[in-house]
Structure 1
Amino acid sequence: MTAHLNRLATGPQHRPRPTGCDQAGRRPRRPRADCAAAVAATPEEHDARALAGRFARQLVEVLTGVRPSGQLMRHTTLDGYGQLASLVRVGALRRGGPADRPRLGPVHDRSPSPGAVEACVRVDLGRRHHMVAFRLERRGPAGQWRCTAVEAR
């Protein structure tokens, strides 16, 4: 009992601050992996992300019937164009009415390997919501970006 009273009389015990903490004893927050990758992105990766955003817009225009699919033929591989043509044929992104214009959400992309970008985007068509995913890869002797796979739900 007297030890407890002695502790109260002398004030709080000084505990050494753990290493890596600020003045208030809080540990600093670690940046998310996505944020760290965005900061360290090379100019080539930045261009690929901008390309993914532009390609998503054109892809949605083809899937909704605003643009003919032949306009994307030179930007796709044979397998990618086959997938795109079958999605157009079954009407994967049907518009609810003539006034429904597709609204695209932010394009989420990642680079699983150098020379490849996988991206997805949410598409709002009136009361319906769809997801479109695609993969872009560097192909050919010139290293041109081409769409190798497309999915829409």
Structure 2
Amino acid sequence: MTTPFSDHLTTRLTARPHRRPRPTGGCDAAGRRPRHPRAACTGAPSPGPGPDPGALASRFAHRLVEVLTGARSSGQLMRHTSLDGYGQLASLVRVGALRRGGAADRPRLGPVHERSPSPDAVEACVRVDLGRRHHMVAFRLEQRGPAGQWQCTAVEAR
């Protein structure tokens, strides 16, 4: 004996699953997708104006403070800094610009204040609280190279 529910279930199990239509963007004339992901980018329009300077400065500030407090190695920021910027960062790490008072002192970052003096540069500063001590960290990010990668070109901490 079949019930309306079992008929519905049988139909549901034997029916073809719903398939989403394939996106046509990035396909060649024959409708095939390119083998390499970057091959789809040739001739494609640029994605837009780029990342939000505030979000970019905030993400970099967190990573920078982790390096300055010793929670992250400075080598992890090497590809995100210019040669001069990395030299400044390494000297700040060497002199211990942001020393922790104790193991329990975790850095707390205040709001990141940023400004863009030009479309390809962002200058930012952030207050860092380490226990009873307060520090200021300032840095400059610039778009460099043919890919337009953002790199830190200057760092100061007091």
Output the TM-score relative to the length of structure 1.
Answer: 0.70
Counterpart of 2:65 in structure 1 is 60
Deviation (angstroms), 1:43? 5.1
For structure 1, the residue ranges without an aligned partner over 5 or more in a row are: 1-41
CA deviations 1:91-116 (Å, max 9, x no partner) are 00000000000000000000011100
Matched, 1:133 2:117: no
Specify the SS of the correspondent of 1:101. coil
- Aligned pairs for 1:1-150 (under 5 A) are 44=50, 47-150=52-155
Q: What SS does the aligned partner of 2:94 have?
A: helix
Q: Is the 8 A contact 2:122 2:141 kept in 1?
A: yes
* Deviation digits for residues 37-91 of structure 1 (CA, Å, limit 9, x no counterpart): xxxxx9536x222111000000000000000000000000000000000000000
- Percent same amino acid at aligned positions? 86
- Unaligned 5+ segments in structure 2 are 1-47
- Asked if the contact 2:114–2:125 (Cα under 8 Å) also holds between the matched residues in 1, the reply is yes
Number of equivalenced pairs: 111
Whole-angstrom distance in 2 between the partners of 1:151 and 1:65? 16
Rounded Cα–Cα distance in structure 2 between residues aligned with 1:78 and 1:49: 24
Residue 156 of structure 2 is matched in structure 1 by 151
| Alpha-carbon distance in 2 for matches of 1:53, 1:89 | 24
Q: How high is the TM-score relative to the length of structure 2?
A: 0.68
Aligned residue identity for 1:129: H
- Say which SS state the counterpart of residue 44 (structure 1) adopts: coil
Letter in 2 for 1:134: F
Which portions of structure 1, spanning 4 or more consecutive aligned residues, are displaced by more than 6 angstroms?
none
Instruction: Say what the alpha-carbon RMSD is for the aligned residues.
Output: 1.2
Q: Aligned with 1:66: secondary structure?
A: coil
